[in-house]
Amino acid sequence: MFESLRVGISALLCLVFAVPLAIIAKNRELREEPMVILVLNMTASALLFSSTFVVVSVGDILTSNDIPPLLCCLFVSVGTSSLGAFKLSALFLAVEQFVAVNFSLRHFAIMSRWAKRLICLTVIFWVVSTLFGIICYLLGLETIEEFDQRMFSIHNHHEQCKWERSANIFMFYSENCMLVCCLGTCALLIHTAVQGMKHQNRISQENGGNTSLLFMVRYKSFKRIVKVLLTIVVIDLVGTGFRVASRWFVQSPVFTIVHYLRILFLIIECWTYGLSHLTIRNAMKSFFGFRQSRVVPDETEDQQPAPESQHDDQREMDEESH
């Protein structure tokens, strides 16, 4: 029963992440947007994590919980590194939001230059982390099970392929990487919100032009999602903090709920970023067969707010004005 539940949950996660990935892959115009590329980066990391979850769950059933140790180590290393890559991609999206709010006119030029580099950094992180996990196993380093038994006299032997069978130092490294990414994401989101609020107050005292209009559109889009994202990041920080602290203190089983929430919030975080972008929302409506609302251009159409990505920015401004 439990094994079937694991397969069902992991398969559902795959489906949830595969949908936005398919939508972006199908629409070539979407892939020209820097933010969409970064959302694609996040979604691919989440899909790889959930796919590994599926493979491990099915493998445990087919082998009667007897997956070869090296193969189990490979799956755990890939899955854990993919989760770390997701957190890193979330940090990069927070950087993108910071640039969008604080450098509205130069946002497209800056992020177009950096988007692919950030994806390369994510891939490099994933490869290095995966190799580190495998090397730790090949060196025969102490596993989490062995560490818990030595430090806390906890005798838990897991027959299933679970993260407790991986090297303790690898899991400690992975959780600390996620902790740093979460701290950076939280700090950037708060800083962006504060700077945006200050800029908004200055604009309210001056005559707004095209630059101000573009800023207001992007800041309003950011304000829609920042509360949700900060809530997710804070809970993620708590969960990661508990996981890191578990190397020194025995954790209550109640805290495992926080770790399940972390997995659930992967979905919310990914879809929050995706749905905040107008072109992705329209692509999703088209993908699911919903009728898109027609936007009637107004007088601002003759004004070009920015030389880059001006068509998408204009559509967003038109949508805000209606």
Q: Is the pLDDT at 108 greater than 80, yes or no?
A: yes
Give dist(CA 106, CA 130) in Å, integer.
36
pLDDT at 320: 45
Amino acid (1-letter code) at residue 68: P
**Which CATH number among 1.20.1070.10, 3.40.190.10, 3.40.50.360, 1.10.3210.10 corresponds to the domain 2-291+302-317?**
1.20.1070.10
Indicate the SS3 state at residue 67: coil
% of the chain at pLDDT higher than 70: 88
Q: Which one of 61-75, 148-162, 209-223 scores highest in mean pLDDT?
A: 61-75
| Beta-carbon count within 10 A of 92 CB | 24
Please tell me the least confidently modeled range out of 68-82, 222-236, 293-307: 293-307
Q: Report the mean per-residue pLDDT for the chain.
A: 83
Give dist(CA 217, CA 318) in Å, integer.
10
Assigned token pair, 192: 């962006």
Q: Mean pLDDT throughout 138-161?
A: 85
Q: Is the pLDDT at 278 greater than 60, yes or no?
A: yes
Confidence of residue 295 (pLDDT cuts 50, 70, 90): very low
pLDDT at 210: 56
| Domain segments of the chain as ranges | 2-291+302-317
Q: What is the pTM of this model?
A: 0.85
Tell me, rounded to whole angstroms, the distance of Cα 204 from its chain centroid. 34
Amino acid (1-letter code) at residue 128: V
For residue 37, what is the enclosing H or E element?
helix 34-62
Confidence of residue 303 (pLDDT cuts 50, 70, 90): very low
CA distances from 18 to 42, 47, 264, 270, 275 (A): 12, 7, 15, 11, 15
Of 26, 34, 1, the C-alpha closest to 308 is 34
Q: Is the pLDDT at 148 greater than 70, yes or no?
A: yes
Q: Which one of 79-88, 96-105, 244-253 scores highest in mean pLDDT?
A: 79-88
What is the full DSSP assignment across 119-173?
A: HHHHHHHHHHHHHHHHHHHHTTPPBHHHHHHHHH-------S--GGGSBHHHHHH
Q: Which one of 2-16, 124-138, 158-172 scores highest in mean pLDDT?
A: 124-138
